[in-house]
Copies of this chain bind each other. A is one copy, B any other.
Amino acid sequence: MSWSGWGDPKQRVPLGEGAILMLREELPGARPALPVDPQDVSLTPPRDLPSALGSFMASTDRAERIRCAAGKSYPDLARIRSGEIPRAPDAVLAPANAAEVTGILEACAREGVAVVPFGGGTSVVGGVDPEAGAHQRVVALDLRRLDHFDLDARSMTARLGPGLLGPQAEAAMGERGFTLGHFPQSFEFATIGGFAATRSAGQASAGYGRFDDLVSAVQMVSPEGTLKTLETPHTAAGPALRELIIGSEGTLGVISDVTVRVRPAPAVKRYEGWIAADFESGYEAVRALAQADALPDVCRLSDRDESRVSLAMSNTKGLAKSLFETYLGIRGRSDGCIVIAGWEGADADVRRRRAASVAILRRHGVVPLGRAPGRAWSHGRFRGPYLRDELMDAGYFIETLETSHTWARYGELYAAVGTAIRDALAAQGSPGIVMCHLSHAYRDGASLYYTFIAPRLEGGEIEQWRQTKSAACDAIVAHGGTITHHHAVGRDHAPYMAAEVGELGVEALRALKSRLDPAGIMNPGKLLGS
């Protein structure tokens, strides 16, 4: 993983000519800004750790400490690119198994060392910030060695180590003919433990279920001992502890084992592009699909701005571009909203389910664009974060955030959050492009995922982010949306937890934390704040 940006440092997804022209025209004034040289990153020396931790492969290597010093949010990257690391872990520990995790947590609780569980480090909400909380020292707990894999083909479940990367888990299942079907944008670099700790949702979660739907049992090592739920398909034995561990974001303990439901790997994956006249008629079509049990496994709807920018970014040129534009014009969809629809499964099943979806799309005036846009989406489905690096190199502020609401209030929330972001950017003298898509639909509502780009305010990057993010979050709260559909809470959303679950809800979670982590060593500052 690149120390200053996303993914494989050898891989780049350069901006095309169309994108560069569009940005120059619509968002003038951005000045390129490359990351500092890695040697120029300033790092405070590590504090000495208790000797009890010596046996757990502690590393105080500079590159390791930098790797675990931040996640991959815009403020994380803006800081690290400028050579600024407010705090790095004093060491990175890599336990070999759950027993070693127990040993580490006991030692850290006794000695007052904060512990930040670290999987892929892909949090975009400050979820792995190495905060020490009430303590002086902090370690990152790198879980990569907890990578066990045990498939029960008869029950179609698999017990997975939390340190398995998405592709590792998929490959192990694929060898036996199964899939987990969980493909968030961070898939290539995120871990099973992270998916569980953050209630991850993937691009095909309409079909396979969100990660929390897939988990049948879970184990968590807390400083006070291990919590373990039974591997049974269902239980009515009281409040669901599984659902307390899922989403706990490392603040209650370390998820050490995740049992998931798996499915036969699909024989066919068919992705297509479609186009709606506008966002409203598009999401009405998606509502109809969801409420008729006819949702494609992948179902995304971009609003006008996102559709327009996607087309500009796609580098379609010359005759192909002109033919495509002519087609859109003839079909009355020149400024339409792109839909990506994908069906996965056995061939006959895909045919039947596609036919059911297509009938509803057509009935709602959504027009086919064929397979090429589907293939293009599939090809680029994990490249968004690489593009962000290019945009930051080019001098832009770029960020994403997400929420969800019921269909009854969906349009209202869509408008309010978009307006809040646009206004906040303009008020700071950096008007931007604000785009949105729907990527997770349910019978009762859907998600809204915003991406916005503006010229960065040089020297004021963090404040520009803070003001824009606050404006968006305030609008979400004011309209009753959730503060996060699948990015989780981390440090950035912690101030909004009281709005989400009420003061008493926060207190209830605090009571739970006090019982499991009385010394307050687990991931300080996240989820419930300081």
Which chain A residues have a beta carbon within 8 Å of chain B's beta carbons? Answer: 152, 154-157, 198-201, 210, 212, 216, 222, 224-249, 252, 261, 263-264, 291, 352, 403-408, 440, 442-447, 480-489, 493, 497, 500-505, 507-512, 514-516, 527
Closest to A240 in B: B243
Q: Are A504 and B155 in contact (CB under 8 A)?
A: no
Which residues of chain B come closer than 8 Å to A404, judged between CB atoms? Answer: 232-235
CB<8 Å pairs between A and B, sample of 24: A199-B235, A228-B502, A229-B501, A230-B501, A232-B405, A232-B481, A233-B447, A234-B447, A235-B500, A236-B247, A236-B488, A237-B497, A238-B247, A238-B248, A238-B500, A238-B501, A238-B527, A239-B246, A239-B247, A241-B505, A504-B516, A507-B515, A511-B511, A511-B512
A501–B240 CA distance with the chains assembled, in angstroms: 9
Closest to A484 in B: B236
Q: Are A489 and B238 in contact (CB under 8 A)?
A: yes
Choose from B155, B442, B512 the contact partner of A445 (Cβ within 8 Å).
Answer: B155
Knowing A155-B445, A232-B480, A502-B227, the reply to whether A249 touches B244 (Cβ < 8 A) is no
Closest to A445 in B: B233
A406–B154 CA distance with the chains assembled, in angstroms: 9
Q: How far is the CB of A244 from chain B (nearest CB, A)?
A: 4
Q: Are B444 and A406 in contact (CB under 8 A)?
A: no
Q: Are A235 and B484 in contact (CB under 8 A)?
A: yes
Which residues of chain B come closer than 8 Å to A232, judged between CB atoms? Answer: 403-406, 445, 480-482
A155–B403 CA distance with the chains assembled, in angstroms: 16
Choose from B155, B261, B352, B507 the contact partner of A408 (Cβ within 8 Å).
Answer: B155
Choose from B231, B243, B408 the contact partner of A154 (Cβ within 8 Å).
Answer: B408
Q: Are B233 and A444 in contact (CB under 8 A)?
A: yes
Q: Are B239 and A243 in contact (CB under 8 A)?
A: yes
Q: Are A236 and B480 in contact (CB under 8 A)?
A: no
A69–B225 CA distance with the chains assembled, in angstroms: 39
Q: How far is the CB of A323 from chain B (nearest CB, A)?
A: 39
Q: Are B482 and A238 in contact (CB under 8 A)?
A: no
A216–B442 CA distance with the chains assembled, in angstroms: 11
A486–B500 CA distance with the chains assembled, in angstroms: 29
